[in-house]
Amino acid sequence: VKDGEYRIKIYATNDLHGRFFDSLFVAKDSTQTHPYSLGSIAAAIKGIRQSEGEENVILLDVGDHLQGDNMVFYYNFVDTLSSHIFSKVVNYLDYDAVVVGNHDIEAGHAVYDKLVGEMEMPYLAANAVRVNDGKPYFKPYTIIERHGLKIAVIGMTNPNIPNWLSKHLWEGMEFLPIEDNLQYWVDYVKKNESPNVVIAALHSGVGSLETPTLENASRFVAKNIDGLDIVFAAHDHKVTREFIENNGKKVLLLEGGSRGASLSAAYLDIVVRDGEVTSLVIDGETLDMSDVSPDQDYSNHFREEFLTVKSFTNAVVGKLLNDISTKDAYFGSSSFIDLIHSVQLEVSGADVSFAAPLSFAISKNAGELKYQDLLDIYPYENQLYVISMSGNEIKNYLEYSYSKWVNKYPSPTGHMLQIKTDGTGERGKFNNIYFNFDAAAGLVYEVDITKGNGKRVTILSMADGSAFDFDKRYSVALSSYRASGGGDMLLMGAGIDKHEVEERFLAKHEDIRSLMYEKLTKEGSLEAKKLDNWKFVPEDLVNKLKEYDYKVLFN
């Protein structure tokens, strides 16, 4: 390394969720666009490279790029022969490294294994290890050299994947907790590579300084892992810039929201004397991208891919025979959720179905259905599974669901639902996550809002009028996300460990959106009949409270 003073800038995107372009696939006119996207970041990075010099810039992505937008859905599952759009954009933008996120594993082996061969930079996840030999399935780290200085980037994915995703999506792998695995790799890299700077790029949320969770461990490791200089976080879609004390040293922690809203930026000021680093000063910020116009060269380069997916998105696939809205789903039986129930029960032949709203506030009017509408109705690639459950387990499962949904003993002037009135963002004003508000079909039941946890649900009968038996075993249709432990409904509610679920599988079907699409192509339409099989009681109190809660939730 030549003696001198160097300024190196390291930028990171995270949780892009397929938002590669500002243009909308479905728009009222050409002026309607996303306020930010990877196109905005492309413009920012182009300007930075021109002003600072390419040798002084590093660009990373910290995961969750293969889910959440029509663009990635199309290249994940429709056009599987062409080079993947994500490979194309990161190669075009000269990324230096990319980290695997949990939603990237959700795309399946065929997709992420293909990316490894297509991307011109390493795909990192040190804590995703092979079951057969314990070695990393992906590359664990990379060394990026600038001016002869060595910058180590250790990548880790979210280790909570087995609790969210069906095993076939991550067959042959296991996922080690970040806080247990990261110190090994920092020590390994320092011993074998002698880097000047060590970065942990973690697809893990910010979390707590004192106690790590499997899902959110970034603050904890910034405080407790020796040898780190910078931590790039991801997963929880937060925007943060903070310094964390670690044995007298300050570690920079950055995260840039989601979908290109912000760009994390870390700045290294390095002084080299007699071939040795004598000073390293680190600072950083998050850069708001909402006022940055997309790079036109970038947009033009991928115009053909965009138009292909736009055409696919706007293809008419059938008709919806009646209006549906997830807004109704929080207050009782609704045509929106009952559409999902009906498809699940029809395909599986199960006795009971569990389903929840997957979008906070989505409505569809009766009429023409485009493929975009199916993506709105069912935005995830969850498969339909059927498992065996006892009547008692079904009842306890529902009790747990409503315990996260309904307030304990609401007063006549209070909230029926668990609401935080100052809540904002993509998860709305609920205390808990709405896509874990499971209701059932195949049963007739009531939920008493004046009762406490474990005592709300009264199952009156099966849907056909026959008696419900707490000791009998029933076939239950539910999503692969739920069967894999998502929402803790099976474990905390029904008391079924995820390892025991494997022994209870009765059937596995393809993803639920595809089942809807097949029904549409066969019958030409979807009818969302409201089943009216459950309700909140007592009705006088419910009617009084739900009107107020509806206004609070949806303005």
pLDDT of residue 427: 61
The whole-number average pLDDT for the span 359-380 is 94
Number of other CB atoms surrounding residue 323 within 10 Å:
14
CA neighbours closer than 13 Å in the CB half-sphere of residue 537: 11
pLDDT tens-digit readout, 15-62? 999 999 998 898 766 677 999 999 999 999 999 999 999 999 999 999
What is the distance between the alpha carbons of residues 180 and 204, in angstroms, rounded to a whole number? 14
- What tens digit of pLDDT does each residue of 290-333 get? 999 999 999 999 999 999 999 999 999 999 999 999 999 999 99
Give every strand in the sheet of 316-320, ordered side by side.
Answer: 367-370, 316-320, 525-526
**Other CB atoms closer than 10 Å to residue 112's CB: what's the count?**
23
Mean pLDDT of 66-82: 95
* pLDDT tops 70 at residue 425: no
Domains defined for the chain, CATH in brackets:
4-311 (3.60.21.10), 316-554 (3.90.780.10)
Contact of 405 with 356, CB cutoff 8 Å: no
H-state helical runs in 324-382: 335-348, 371-377
Q: pLDDT digit string (tens) for 490-506?
A: 999 999 998 899 899 99
pLDDT tens figures, 460-494: 999 999 999 999 999 999 999 999 999 999 999 99
> Which residues fall within 8 angstroms of residue 377, CB to CB, at 6 or more apart?
324, 336, 339, 362, 364, 513, 516
Residue 502: predicted pLDDT: 87
426 pLDDT above the threshold of 60: no
pTM of the model: 0.87
Furthest CA-CA distance within the chain: 86
The pLDDT of residue 263 is: 99
Q: Which of 112, 107, 9 lies closest to 53, judged by CA?
A: 9
DSSP state string for 395-449: HHHHHHHHHTTB-SS--TTS-SB-B-TT--STTTTBSS-GGG--EEESEEEEEET
Residue-wise pLDDT for 161-188, tens only, equals 998 888 899 999 999 999 999 999 999 9
Report how far residue 442's alpha carbon sits from residue 478's, in angstroms, rounded to the nearest whole number: 12
Output the CA torsion 230→122→131→491 (10° steps): 60
Average pLDDT in the 93-114 region?
A: 98
pLDDT digits (tens, 9 = 90+) for 397-418: 999 999 999 998 888 888 999 9
Contact 127, 177 (CB under 8 A): yes
Q: Specify the pLDDT at position 519.
A: 94
DSSP H or E segment with residue 276: strand 276-288
CA 193 and chain centroid, separation:
34
Q: Which of 228, 143, 145 is nearest to 192 (CA)?
A: 143
Rounded CA separation 415/546 (Å):
8
What mean pLDDT is predicted for residues 369-398? 96
